Structure 1
């Protein structure tokens, strides 16, 4: 930053009264506002020349916010750094889960849940008990229809006969 500031001071002296005072750290040669598209183009050229995999300039912003949040920097500070007026914007858009952060969170959660590993013998015994229980239930319910009522067709009567029995005799 110090060298950049020195170069900018040299540019200011060279431009004299034509220098545009913006107060910005990064400017055009004459001090005027630096268009974001120009910065993006330069960044893309630098990435390509370096042989690095393609990355968008905005991805650096996203990564920086994620790293700050992973380092437990207060959400308000991160939000202010990014220029957000509301911390919800920071949380909703820029907060990503880093693999190691996600892994440590999962491990911490897993420690809260007691693990009960059953041996193969225990699993086999449980399956056998379930089969035996199902067999007993099937034997007990054999010959029964819905509701556990016996299926005896000999006792079944047509509806008309049943209605006749229910009617009161006329006097």
Structure 2
């Protein structure tokens, strides 16, 4: 594909992917990626539990199914689309769960570093490790967004974008 065609295609699909990213970001919280913030004490975990609360695979699946039900209703997903999307999201959840656990464990590490005398090298190693884990989570979420985007029609992506903009006040300065 020539470079100009690539950039034209990217400009055309990028807004839809950003919108889907925003919606799937909500799903990501259910998947445990919210632990990035929770691990730093910035947010509670899933369902308002304390960030140290561990969630069973059954709890995670129930939460994912609940969020997907709303997602499906909003875009009027077909049974075929549902059959394709659900395994994509659940597989991502399975792959992201170790990162969830890693962020929970890193919270204690951060507190220990804070309590000790400043060790800039240790703080930098901690920061680099956190960034590596966030990059890994971001890459997996990007893959999920692309996979789900492939399943949706342009009309569904537009409906989703409008719904998210309306409910999350996106694009308002």
Quickly name the TM-score band, shorter chain normalised: under 0.3
Structure having the higher Rg: 1
Provide the TM-score with structure 1 as the length reference.
0.22
Going by fraction, where is helix more abundant, 1 or 2? 2
